[in-house]
Amino acid sequence: MLRPKKKLTRKEIKQDKFVEFMVNSRSYVEKNDKIILYGLGGLIVIAVIAVLFFINFRNKSAAADTLLGKAQTEYQNLNYIKAEAFLKQLSEEYPGTESGREGQFLLANIYFQQKKYPEAKELFKAFVDHYSKSGILKASGYAGLAACAEISKEYEDAAEFYEKACDLNKENSEAANYLYLSGLNFKQAGKMEKAKTAFARLVEEFPKSQQINNAKFHLTQING
């Protein structure tokens, strides 16, 4: 006898939609054995959209939520100056709230897209140091830090940040991509043993990843 399906709550439906979006998100591609920087475009967009979902799971100040919502709308419309103004107001008036923390994350994205990498790095760092609600969103924060490190050619730091992003987000499809980028950055930094460990982890932990063949190629190359 079949049991009737449990009716999902609104929160569970939103979470399912978010997971579905992430599963269908972009994958990473390697060409000519070099690290490809996509300007963190797809990765940052994924993370920003995460904010749009998680705003519904709070019980904080309605005013703070409103400011964050306005900033998100302006961001989506590419009105970065207006979005930045709302986010700075949010930071000044509601520091320490979840809306404020998520606003930090969104502002870091804006700075990154404006190529203000030191400012973006500072905000990503503040975000990952203090935000604790969502592992998915915090992982995206570490990915943002990693991208800033890549821009500065701090490849070992970038690798470690991507590794943290993976560890925070193991159940999501992006985890394998983070681990792959970790391996590439370790390799770029000349840390071959660490690169080998990252690629071996990917092969073992994510055997269905789209990066599995690339990881095996790098393992073969490292092993000589």
Q: Which domains does the chain have, with CATH numbers?
A: 35-152 (1.25.40.10)
| 127-139 pLDDT, tens digit each | 999 887 777 888 8
Q: How far apart are CA 163 and CA 171, in angstroms?
A: 14
Q: Are 196 and 216 in contact (CB under 8 A)?
A: no
**pLDDT of 121:** 94
**% of the chain exceeding 90 in pLDDT:** 43
What pLDDT, on a 0 to 100 scale, did the predictor assign at position 65? 87
Higher pLDDT, residue 118 or 96: 118
Contact 169, 136 (CB under 8 A): yes
83 exposure class (CB count in 10 Å sphere: 0-12, 13-18, 19+): buried
Look at 4-13, 21-30, 35-44, 86-95 and tell me which has the smallest mean pLDDT. Answer: 21-30
What does pTM read for this prediction? 0.74
Written as six digits, the tokens of 4 are 């009737």
Q: What is the distance between the alpha carbons of residues 202 and 111, in angstroms, rounded to a whole number? A: 31
Which has the minimum average pLDDT: 24-33, 118-127, 155-164? 24-33
Partners of residue 34 on adjacent β-strands: 31
Q: How many CB atoms lie within 10 A of CB 133?
A: 13
Average per-residue pLDDT in the chain?
A: 77
pLDDT score, position 62: 82
216 Cβ partners below 8 Å, 6+ apart?
199, 203
DSSP SS3 for 34:
strand
Q: What is the pLDDT of residue 30?
A: 38
pLDDT for the residue numbered 13: 41
pLDDT above 80 for 175: yes
pLDDT recorded at residue 78: 86
* Mean pLDDT confidence for 81-93: 93
Q: Backbone phi, then psi, for 77, in 5-degree steps?
A: -90, 5
2 exposed, middle or buried (CB, 10 Å; 0-12, 13-18, 19+)? Answer: exposed
Closest by CA to 162, choosing from 148, 171, 152, is: 148
Separation CA 60–CA 189 (nearest Å): 43
- Give CA separation, 148 vs 17, 112, 121, 152, 218, in Å: 29, 8, 6, 6, 24
CA–CA distance, 213 with 122 (Å, rounded to integer): 35
